[in-house]
C-alpha cells in the first residue's frame, strides 16, 4: 500500500457493492475501510483519519444524506462521493448542494469509479475545498448569480474559466432567457479588466438613428440637436469590457463600423476626424442563428468570424433539467428576501412538475414563475397546485389568449378580476401587482362591475 495516498471509506449496506468497490480501489494502491451503515462509518471516522468517503444514499437507519451532513460539519476536509441506485434529480442535486463532490449511479463502470476517486485525490493534494466541486467553489466567490451543477453547465463554467483571462473576442449564443449577460459579466469579473467598466448595450433597444452617436459619441454641432460634445459608450468602456447584447439587431452600416473598431482598435466620434485609440474587450451575444442571418444577407460574414474567436453556447433549461432544484432554491431564497416571505421550499411533486415542463423562456421564465408564486400564493411549501396553469396544464387560471377575438377591455377586465381573486379583494395589494394606483383600480372595478369580496 502507498501510505501517501488518502485512506478511503466505503459505506454501503450491500456487502457485494462495498467489497467490489474496495477491490477496485485497493487495485489502485489505496487503503480502504468498509462500513455497512452510517453509524459504523462515523465510528470509523472518529477513530482514524479518512480522506475520501463513498456513501450509498439509500441505507436503513441513518441514510447517506444524514451521514454526508455529519461529515460536512465535523470533517470539512474530507471529500465525499455519493452512490445511488435511485437516480432522482432531487437526491443527486441535494447531495451536491450539501457538499458532496459528485455522485455515481448504480450500476456504474469501473472506469467511472476510478476517475472520480482520482479527481477526489487531486482535490485533497491541491488543498481544494473538499466539500465543493472546484468550479462550484469558484462560482460561489466569482459567479454567484450563475446557478447550476449539471454536466452542461460545468462545460460552460470550464470555458468561462479558460477564456476569461484572455482578451479574445467572444460570442455567446443561446435562446432568450439562458443567462447570456450573466455569463458576460462573469467573464469580465474573472478577467484582468475586472477593475474597469463593464458596459452592456441592448442592440434591440436602441433607435438606429441614435445608435452610432450612442456608441461612438459626437462632437458639438455634428447634427441637429448636438448642442454639446458627447462621450460614447466605447469611451466609457475603455480598458474594460463592452457587451453587445443581441448583436444580430445591428444594421449592416453599424456592423461595418464595428468591424473596423475590432480590427483597428480605434474609432472616430460622429462629426470628428480625430481617431481615438481603444483598449477594450468585446463580448457579443445572440439568440439567432448567425449563419442563417449571413445567408439572408442581414449579418456580415467577416464580422461573424471576428466575433466568434471564442464561442460559448448556453444550453436551454430543458437540456439542464438537473439544475432545476438548485435554481428553484436560489430563486426562493432571492425572492423571499425581496418580498419578505418565508416560503420553505418546494415539494418533490412540485419539482417533478417543473422538470417535466419544456421552459421555452428558460431560466428567466423559471425565475418569473417562482416570483409570481411568492407574490400570489399563500403557501409555505410550493406544490403543483401553486404552479401556473401553463406549466401544469390545469384549467381555470388566467391565460391571456384563452379566448379568440377578445378585446383589450375584455382582457383587462378578466385580468383585474383574476388579481382581485388572488389577493382576496385587497385593493392596495391588487393595485401594486397591477402597477396602478388604488384610485385607478377603484375606477376600473366600478367600470367593469367587478366582484371584490371573497
pLDDT tens per residue across span 387-440 = 988 787 654 444 444 444 557 777 778 778 878 877 778 888 888 877 788 888
- For residue 107, say if its preceding peptide bond is cis, omega within 30 degrees of 0: yes
Q: What are phi and psi of 95, to 5 degrees?
A: -65, -40
Are 58 and 91 found together in one domain? yes
Whole-number Å distance between alpha carbons of 55 and 10: 6
Distance of CA 49 to the CA centre of its chain: 37
Are 298 and 327 found together in one domain? no
Q: Report if residue 198 sits inside a domain.
A: yes
Q: Report if residue 326 sits inside a domain.
A: yes
Q: Is 82 exposed, middle or buried (0-12, 13-18, 19+ CB in 10 A)?
A: buried
Which residues, listed in sequence order, are joined to residue 311 by a DSSP beta bridge? 171
Q: Report if residue 218 sits inside a domain.
A: yes
Are 166 and 26 found together in one domain? no
Using CA atoms, how far residue 124 sits from 52, 159, 218, in Å, is 9, 24, 57
Nearest C-alpha neighbor of 177 from the set 290, 314, 369, 73: 314
Residue 221's pLDDT is 58
Running DSSP on this structure, what letter comes out for residue 454? -
Is 56:36 a contact under the CB 8 Å cutoff? no
Q: pTM of the predicted model, to two decimals? A: 0.58
Among 101, 132, 163, the domain-final residue is 132
Running DSSP on this structure, what letter comes out for residue 410? H
For the domain that residue 380 is a member of, what is the CATH number? Answer: 1.10.8.60
The low-confidence residues of the chain, meaning pLDDT below 50, are 1-4, 89, 128-142, 395-404
Residue 226's pLDDT is 60
Are 168 and 184 found together in one domain? yes
Are 127 and 164 found together in one domain? no
Residue 132's pLDDT is 44
Whole-number Å distance between alpha carbons of 57 and 39: 14
Are 30 and 58 found together in one domain? yes
Q: Report if residue 394 sits inside a domain.
A: no
Query: What total of structural domains would you count in the chain?
Result: 4
Residue 363's pLDDT is 93
Distance of CA 380 to the CA centre of its chain: 24
Among 295, 313, 331, the domain-final residue is 313
> What 3-state DSSP class applies to 254?
helix
Whole-number Å distance between alpha carbons of 91 and 176: 29
Running DSSP on this structure, what letter comes out for residue 245? E
Residue 126's pLDDT is 62
Are 14 and 106 found together in one domain? yes
Q: Which domain holds residue 35?
A: 8-132
Amino acid at each position: 500500500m502507498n501510505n501517501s495516498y488518502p485512506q478511503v471509506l466505503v459505506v454501503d449496506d450491500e456487502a457485494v457493492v462495498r467489497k467490489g468497490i474496495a477491490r477496485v480501489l485497493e487495485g489502485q494502491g489505496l487503503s480502504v475501510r468498509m462500513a455497512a451503515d452510517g453509524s459504523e462509518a462515523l465510528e470509523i471516522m472518529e477513530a482514524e483519519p479518512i480522506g475520501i468517503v463513498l456513501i450509498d444514499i439509500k441505507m436503513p437507519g441513518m441514510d447517506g444524506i444524514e451521514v454526508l451532513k455529519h461529515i460536512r460539519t465535523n470533517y470539512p476536509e474530507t471529500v465525499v462521493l455519493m452512490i445511488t441506485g435511485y437516480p432522482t434529480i432531487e437526491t443527486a442535486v441535494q447531495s451536491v448542494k450539501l457538499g458532496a463532490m459528485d455522485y455515481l449511479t448504480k450500476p456504474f463502470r469501473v472506469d467511472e469509479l476510478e476517475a472520480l476517486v482520482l479527481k477526489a485525490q487531486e482535490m485533497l493534494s491541491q488543498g481544494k475545498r473538499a466539500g465543493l466541486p472546484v468550479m462550484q467553489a469558484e462560482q460561489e466567490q466569482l459567479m454567484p448569480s450563475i446557478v447550476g451543477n449539471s454536466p452542461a453547465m460545468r462545460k460552460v463554467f470550464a470555458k468561462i474559466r479558460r477564456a476569461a483571462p484572455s482578451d479574445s473576442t467572444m460570442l455567446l449564443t443561446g435562446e432568450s432567457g439562458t443567462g447570456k449577460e450573466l455569463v458576460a459579466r462573469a467573464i469580465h469579473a474573472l478577467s484582468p479588466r475586472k477593475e474597469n467598466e463593464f458596459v452592456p448595450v441592448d442592440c434591440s433597444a436602441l433607435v438606429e438613428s441614435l445608435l452610432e452617436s450612442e456608441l461612438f459619441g459626437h462632437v458639438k454641432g455634428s447634427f441637429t440637436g448636438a448642442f454639446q460634445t458627447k462621450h460614447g459608450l466605447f469611451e466609457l468602456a475603455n480598458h474594460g469590457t463592452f457587451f453587445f447584447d443581441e448583436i444580430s439587431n445591428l444594421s449592416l452600416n453599424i456592423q461595418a463600423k464595428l468591424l473596423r473598431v475590432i480590427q483597428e482598435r480605434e474609432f472616430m466620434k460622429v462629426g470628428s476626424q480625430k481617431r481615438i485609440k481603444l483598449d477594450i474587450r468585446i463580448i457579443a451575444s445572440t439568440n439567432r442563428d448567425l449563419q442563417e442571418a449571413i445567408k439572408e444577407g442581414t449579418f456580415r460574414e467577416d464580422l461573424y468570424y471576428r466575433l466568434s474567436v471564442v464561442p460559448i453556447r448556453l444550453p436551454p433549461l430543458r437540456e439542464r433539467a438537473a439544475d432545476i432544484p438548485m435554481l428553484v432554491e436560489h430563486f426562493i431564497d432571492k425572492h423571499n428576501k425581496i418580498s419578505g416571505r418565508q416560503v420553505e421550499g418546494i415539494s418533490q411533486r412540485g419539482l417533478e412538475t417543473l422538470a417535466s415542463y419544456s421552459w421555452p423562456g428558460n431560466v428567466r421564465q423559471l425565475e418569473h414563475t417562482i416570483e409570481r408564486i411568492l407574490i400570489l400564493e399563500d403557501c409555505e411549501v410550493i406544490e403543483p397546485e401553486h404552479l401556473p396553469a401553463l406549466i401544469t396544464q390545469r384549467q381555470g387560471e388566467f391565460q391571456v389568449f384563452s379566448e379568440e377575438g377578445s378585446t383589450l377591455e375584455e382582457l383587462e377586465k378578466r385580468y383585474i378580476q383574476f388579481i382581485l381573486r388572488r389577493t382576496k379583494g385587497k385593493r392596495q395589494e391588487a393595485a401594486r401587482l397591477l402597477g396602478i394606483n388604488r384610485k385607478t383600480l377603484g375606477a376600473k372595478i366600478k367600470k367593469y362591475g367587478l366582484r371584490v369580496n371573497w
